[in-house]
Amino acid sequence: MKKVFVLDTNVLLHDPAAMHQFEDNDVVLPMTIIEELDRFKKQPEETGRNARQVSRELDGLRQQGNLFEGIVLEGGGNLRVALCNRETLQELPPELERDRGDNSILAVALELQRQCNCPLVLVSKDTNLRLKADALSVAAEDYETDKVNVGDLYTGISEVIVDAESINNLFKQGGVDLDGPFLPNQSLTLVDSVNPAHTALAVVDGHSGQVQPLAKIPHAGISQVIPRNREQRFAIELLLRDSISLLTLVGKAGTGKTLLAIAAGLQQVADEQRYSRLLIARPNIPMGRDLGYLPGDIKEKLTPWMQPLYDNFDLIFGTQDTTGQPSHWRRGHEELMEQGLLQIEPLTYIRGRTIPKQFLIVDEAQNLTPHEVKTILTRAGEGTKVVLTGDPEQIDNPYVDAASNGLTYVVERFKKEPLAGHVTLHHGERSMLAERAAALL
C-alpha cells in the first residue's frame, strides 16, 4: 500500500534531493515550506545553497504540470504542494501558536490524514515537531535516508584467530591468504590459536585481498611522531599507503587523529615529495557562543579557528616556546607556508576548486553534512589523498548529529571500496587527564 509522506522544511535543507527518496510513495510539501525556503535561500552557507537548489528543483517540476494537482516523479511517486486548511489550523490545541510555520505543517498533515485511506507519515528532523505530531496521533519520523547506526559503525579493525604457520608465512612470504570475509584495507590482529601471546599486525590489501604485514617505520617515527598503540600503528600504515585515496580516522579527543594525519602528510610532502602540498581545512563552526566578526587580515581572522592545527605543528617541530628567538625566526608551519608546501584554510573556500596531487586533511569532519563531504571529495584531482578526521560525539553543527554527519556517512558508504580505508581509535594518548575526561564526562 502506498504511503503519504509530508515533509518538513528542515528535511529539504538537509538533503535537497529528499523529495526523490521515497520510491513510489506520495510526497506532500505544505505551502509553508515554500515561504520558509524563500527566507533561507538568502543565507550564504550550505543551508542557503540547499534552499536555492530545492527552489530551482520545484520550479523545474512546475514546468511539467500543476504542483497543487500533483506531478509524477521519476521513482513513480507523486509530488504535490498542499495548502493549510484554516479550520484545521484553528482546531489545534490552544498551546500551539497559530502563526508558527511548524504548526501549519502539522495542520496539513492532520487534514491529509483525515482525507486519505492510506498510512501517512510526517517526516521532520525537528524533535519538537515530532513530539507535537505524536500528541495529535499523527505518525512522525526522522529523515533517516543518510543515517547510519553509530553503535554498529565500522571500526576498520578486527582480530582473527589463525594457526602459527599463517603468522610465520605472513613475514616470510610477505603476505598470506586467509578466509574472510574481510573488507578492503581492513586492519587485522592475527592471534595464534595455540599461543595467544604470538600475534602479528597486518592489513588486507584493497585490490588483491591478500593479508600483508605492516610496513616498517623508522625508529624516530614519522615526522618525529611515534605511534603509541596498535590503533595508531594501523592509522600510520593506511596514511602511508599510496593505494588508499580516502582515509577516515574516527576517535575521541586525544587519540591522535589529527597529529598522525599531519605527521604522515609532512613526511610524504616535505621528505618524500609524493605530493606537491599539504592542504589542511576545517569547518569554521564554533563551540558555544560565536565571537562574531574578527578584526585583521585573513591570516589574523583564521588564527583562532586554526590554532588547534598550529598546536600540532608546534608539537612536531618542538616550537611551543618562542621566548628568546630572533625577530626573523619562523615557527615550523610558517616556514612550510612560505615554501608553498603547506596551506591551511577554512572549508568555505573549497567549492569550485580542483585539488590535484595534494595531501588533503579535513579536520573536525563530524561537523559536516553528507552533502558538504560530497562537495569536498569531488574536488580531489588526480593523485590527491583525502584524510577525514573527527569525533562523532563532539558535534557543534546544529544541523547534524552522530548518526547523520558526513564523517560517519562516508565511513559506511566507502567501507567496501578498494581505494578507501578506515580506523577507529579508542585509546587516548594526549594525557592521563584528557583520557579520563573523555571517558568520564
How confident is the model over 139-152, as pLDDT tens digits?
999 998 777 777 78
Q: Name the 3-class secondary structure at 320.
A: coil
Closest alpha carbon to 389 in 226, 214, 262: 262
pLDDT of residue 243: 95
Mean of all residue pLDDT scores within the chain: 88
Cell numbers that stand for 21 in this block: 527518496
Spatial contact of 154 and 421, defined as CB atoms under 8 Å apart = no
**Of 383 and 1, the one with more pLDDT:** 383
Q: Where are the CATH 3.40.50.300 domain residues in the chain?
A: 221-440
**Of 100 and 304, the one with more pLDDT:** 100
Q: Name the 3-class secondary structure at 302.
A: helix
Distance CA 104, CA 109 (A): 9
**Of 375 and 264, the one with more pLDDT:** 264
pLDDT tens across 17-51, in order?
899 999 899 999 999 999 999 998 888 677 888 89
User: Domain 4-142 belongs to what topology?
Assistant: Rossmann fold (3.40.50)
State how far the alpha carbon of 358 is from the alpha carbons of 243, 245, 259, 269, 352, in Å. 14, 11, 18, 8, 16
- What single DSSP character describes residue 393? T
pLDDT tens across 81-140, in order?
999 988 888 888 888 766 678 889 999 999 999 888 889 999 999 889 999 999 999 999
What region, left, alpha or beta, does residue 70 occupy, with left being phi > 0 and alpha being psi -120 to 50 degrees?
A: left
Q: Where are the CATH 3.40.50.1010 domain residues in the chain?
A: 4-142
pLDDT tens across 74-95, in order?
888 899 999 998 888 888 888 8
Return the top range by mean pLDDT from 76-85, 186-195, 293-302, 345-354.
Answer: 186-195
State how far the alpha carbon of 274 is from the alpha carbons of 59, 71, 122, 190, 311, in Å. 47, 52, 51, 31, 25
Q: What is the DSSP string of 46-60?
A: HHHHHHHHHHHHHHH
pLDDT of residue 287: 43
Superfamily of domain 221-440: P-loop containing nucleotide triphosphate hydrolases (3.40.50.300)
Assign 288 a pLDDT band (cuts: 50, 70, 90).
very low
Question: How large is the average pLDDT for residues 247-264?
Answer: 94
Distance CA 211, CA 209 (A): 7
**Of 407 and 334, the one with more pLDDT:** 407
pLDDT of residue 304: 67
Above pLDDT 90, what percent of the chain?
A: 58
Closest alpha carbon to 428 in 249, 235, 228: 228
pTM over 0.85: no
Q: Is residue 322 over pLDDT 80? A: no
pLDDT tens across 401-423, in order?
888 899 999 999 999 999 999 99
Distance CA 392, CA 373 (A): 14
